[in-house]
């Protein structure tokens, strides 16, 4: 990962649900893909992988949420022996294929995204157990309240001391209106509009 040469061949070790979807993602973008699955159930820390490598400074881990061929987020984790150049190369590579890479600065089990989701889920469980909300209303709160804002700017922008929500709403009003319209549209209408778009493309190419 430390070389500046363009990356056109990808090796995938582990071809479960996530690995297979990564393979499909790379193949769809014209990469050469070599995949192997030596042992089912083996998820390894980057430091453990580096311990058996001839060039540990070139090793990084890239975690994605499932399904990886659709989810843009990629979490880059460096081990104790990973070089800064390899980290920069990984961030640049994943950005170049349309992903949204971030750097996890301290090695930890699991995904940072998973831990943030777990914190929200624990609070939902607490509110439901206390009788404050039922689970359906909790989902409505997340999807139709802060979730819409998080999509546009992230959660930290709404923390105390950062931008006030009123300012955010003014700055992002057009995007927020578009999101609300999209979320309010029945799924059947999405399919109908998709068929209409495909029909228009077919007429243009015929």
- Active-site residues, by number, are 75
Q: Please choose, from the candidates 199, 151, 157, 141, the residue with its C-alpha nearest in 3D space to the C-alpha of residue 178.
A: 151
Three-state DSSP string of 125-172: HHHHHCCCCCHHHHHHHHHHCHHHHHHHHCCHHHCCCCCCHHHHHHHC
Are the C-beta atoms of 168 and 153 separated by less than 8 Å? Answer: yes
């Amino acid at each position: 990962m430390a070389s500046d040469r363009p990356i056109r061949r990808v090796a995938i070790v582990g071809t479960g649900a996530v690995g297979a979807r990564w393979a499909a993602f790379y193949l769809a973008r014209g990469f050469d893909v070599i995949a192997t699955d030596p042992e089912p159930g083996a998820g390894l820390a980057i430091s453990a992988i580096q311990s058996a490598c001839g060039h540990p400074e070139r090793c990084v881990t890239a975690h994605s949420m499932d399904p990886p061929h659709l989810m843009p987020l990629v979490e880059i984790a460096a081990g104790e022996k990973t070089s800064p150049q390899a980290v920069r190369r990984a961030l640049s590579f994943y950005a170049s294929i349309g992903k949204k890479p971030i750097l996890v600065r301290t090695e930890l089990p699991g995904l940072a995204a998973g831990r943030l989701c777990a914190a929200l889920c624990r609070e939902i469980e607490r509110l439901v157990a206390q009788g404050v909300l039922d689970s359906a209303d909790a989902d409505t709160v997340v999807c139709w309240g802060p979730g819409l804002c998080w999509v546009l700017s992230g959660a930290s922008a709404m923390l105390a001391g950062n931008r006030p929500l009123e300012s955010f709403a003014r700055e992002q009003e057009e995007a927020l209106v578009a999101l609300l319209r999209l979320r309010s549209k029945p799924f059947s209408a999405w399919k109908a509009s998709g068929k209409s778009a495909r029909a228009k493309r077919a007429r243009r190419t015929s």
